[in-house]
Amino acid sequence: MDVTSTGSADLVIVANRLPVDRFEQPDGTPGWRRSPGGLVSALEPVLRASDGAWIGWPGGTEEDLEPFEADGMDLVPVHLSADEVEEFYEGFSNATLWPLYHDVVAKPEFHREWWESYVRVNQRFAEKAAAVAAKDATVWVHDYQLQLVPQMLRDLRPDLRIGFYLHIPFPPTELFQQLPWRRQVLEGLLGADLIGFQLAGGAQNFIRLVRQRVGHKTHRDLVYLPDGRTVRAAAFPISIDAADFEKLARSEGVEQRAKEIREALGNPKKVFLGIDRLDYTKGIYARLRAYSELLADGHFDVEDAVFVQVATPSRERVEQYRILRDEIDRLVGRINGDLGKIGSPAISYMHSSFPREEMAALYRAADIMVVTPFRDGMNLVAKEYIACRFDGQGALVLSEFAGAANELRQAWLINPYDINGMKAALLDAYNASPRELARRMKAMRKTVVEHDVKAWADSFLEELSSVRRDHGKTVRPVSQG
């Protein structure tokens, strides 16, 4: 590949996954359909407007997939071998970086072979982006799997304007310093002109590490590089397509399905709901324990309150995830055995994924949404629930360690490590008056509607275009936002 050549895309999105999933068409041939998720909704119109391309792994290990178009988007696949899926994706990305960046809720593993695979795959993504991008194009790299791409890409194509966005938390200095390749990751990120984080604290952690570990001069949210470039690190809290979720929630089909769900649960007074990927960072075990203790203590009965927990299958080849699944299966069985009644289990537990319509119906059916991660970059489920509650009712119990807690201050905020505190919040939300629920929900809905995913993408791309109008040779005044 001649990486000095320039392609035709004025905007290139580089993410671990393509924005489409494979499916089998009625005639048996494989096809592609758009993945669910806010990132795709936010970036698709921008891609269309700017002659853009999206680079990513299509899933699977088949080789030589040519670039193709799907759903009006130009897509460029990056191949991963079976070994790379194991070492780069399941290994370094999800068994080293993921636990490290999530406050070591599980112990990270450090393996040199995994790191070598991470470097190799990041180089492949960078080379693809270099080949696809037009002269002076904007390239937006996403997430923890691709932290080396910005600098690799700058080495290949210094003309490009490069942004990076981290969707998960960026850890405090003490944790990040455990990583044997800490300097390489920091230098990889510094290839970008603008580095976006969910929270201001993540940006500050990054700036502090760059000063301590790489030795560059910094001032507030800026890093000054020896070559005269300036890099900005700032918070851009991600959001959802709130209008789209509300439209879905208002549809007749979803309204009907929400009624059916409540009837199937025996029309209890209150329905508690958890929807998460099955992940040890999400605090599923602790929340089910808190709910079961409220039942056991007699605060309510299974006729009064049921808990619906949806746990979407996730990373099932990683050992820690298999262990977690078994633990939750056992806990649910024990609680239902001890506290449920015939035809009325205390917990309705589903280990499966659902389409957006079913999720919207669950949000409409639930009185109390329970979101209790030990650490989460943002947690969009909390925002989706609020977008679907156009009726102004419903309560949100939210971990203060989710990024969303920064914006959704009217939720019942809890420390997920404090079971008694969680029980008190669940009970408060259960007993809250319609007036109090409406007051809290109105304020949270205002936040979610005004700061939607389009506003997030626009603000990042606008900032990226102004940071590097002259390719970083002079310093802009720091905007206090």
Answer for the pair 58, 21: CB distance below 8 angstroms, yes or no: no
Of 35-44, 77-86, 207-216, 318-327, the one with minimum mean pLDDT is 35-44
Domain-located, residue 481: no
Helix/strand/coil (H, E, C) string of 142-162?
A: ECHHHCCHHHHHHHHCCCCEE
Domain-located, residue 350: yes
Domain-located, residue 479: no
Q: Write down the pTM of the prediction.
A: 0.94
Pick the more confident residue, 238 or 46: 238
What sign does the CA torsion over 418, 314, 197, 50 have?
negative
- Looking at the structure, do residues 142 and 264 belong to the same domain, yes or no? no
Mean pLDDT of 311-326: 87
pLDDT category at 146 given cuts 50, 70, 90 is very high
What is the per-residue pLDDT for 400? 98
pLDDT category at 4 given cuts 50, 70, 90 is very low
Domain-located, residue 478: no
Q: Which residue has the tokens 């319509």?
A: 357
What DSSP letter does each residue of 152-214 carry, written as one string? HHHHH-TTSEEEEE--SPPPPHHHHTT-TTHHHHHHHHTTSSEEEESSHHHHHHHHHHIIIII
- Looking at the structure, do residues 69 and 213 belong to the same domain, yes or no? yes
215: amino acid identity, one letter: G
Kindly report, residue by residue over 327-369, the tens digit of the pLDDT.
999 999 999 999 999 989 999 999 998 889 999 999 999 999 9
- Looking at the structure, do residues 14 and 115 belong to the same domain, yes or no? yes
Pick the more confident residue, 216 or 320: 216
Q: What is the distance between the alpha carbons of residues 80 and 232, in angstroms, rounded to a whole number?
A: 32
Q: What is the distance between the alpha carbons of residues 85 and 214, in angstroms, rounded to a whole number?
A: 30
- Looking at the structure, do residues 15 and 141 belong to the same domain, yes or no? yes
| Domain span including residue 420 | 242-450
Q: Please check the confidence at residue 46 and state whether its pLDDT lies above 90.
A: no
- Looking at the structure, do residues 417 and 290 belong to the same domain, yes or no? yes
Q: Which residue has the tokens 């099932």?
A: 316
Mean pLDDT of 417-422: 98
Which long-range contacts link 420-428 to residues 24+ away (Cβ below 8 Å)?
A: 422/286, 422/287, 422/290, 422/372, 422/397, 423/290, 423/293, 423/294, 425/397, 426/272, 426/290, 426/291, 426/294, 426/368, 426/370, 426/397, 427/294, 427/299
What DSSP letter does each residue of 62-106 carry, written as one string? ---PPPEEETTEEEEE----HHHIIIIIIIIIIIIIHHHHTTTSS
Kindly report, residue by residue over 48-64, the tens digit of the pLDDT.
888 899 999 998 888 77
- Looking at the structure, do residues 50 and 107 belong to the same domain, yes or no? yes
- Looking at the structure, do residues 264 and 337 belong to the same domain, yes or no? yes
Q: What is the distance between the alpha carbons of residues 261 and 267, in angstroms, rounded to a whole number?
A: 9
Give the CATH number of the domain where residue 252 resides: 3.40.50.2000
- Looking at the structure, do residues 292 and 175 belong to the same domain, yes or no? no
- Looking at the structure, do residues 267 and 365 belong to the same domain, yes or no? yes
Domain-located, residue 415: yes
DSSP-based three-state secondary structure for 13: strand
Q: What is the distance between the alpha carbons of residues 197 and 71, in angstroms, rounded to a whole number?
A: 29
Domain-located, residue 199: yes
Domain count, the chain: 2
- Looking at the structure, do residues 35 and 110 belong to the same domain, yes or no? yes
Mean pLDDT score across all residues of the chain? 92
Domain-located, residue 115: yes
What is the per-residue pLDDT for 1? 37
* Percent residues over pLDDT 90 in the chain: 81
- Looking at the structure, do residues 18 and 156 belong to the same domain, yes or no? yes
Q: What is the distance between the alpha carbons of residues 71 and 88, in angstroms, rounded to a whole number?
A: 29
Answer for the pair 12, 129: CB distance below 8 angstroms, yes or no: yes
Answer for the pair 240, 448: CB distance below 8 angstroms, yes or no: yes
- Looking at the structure, do residues 294 and 181 belong to the same domain, yes or no? no
Helices (H), 297-390: 319-339, 356-365, 380-388
Q: What is the distance between the alpha carbons of residues 4 and 67, in angstroms, rounded to a whole number?
A: 19
What is the per-residue pLDDT for 328? 96
Domain-located, residue 181: yes
Q: What is the distance between the alpha carbons of residues 161 and 229, in angstroms, rounded to a whole number?
A: 12
Kindly report, residue by residue over 232-250, the tens digit of the pLDDT.
999 999 999 999 999 999 9
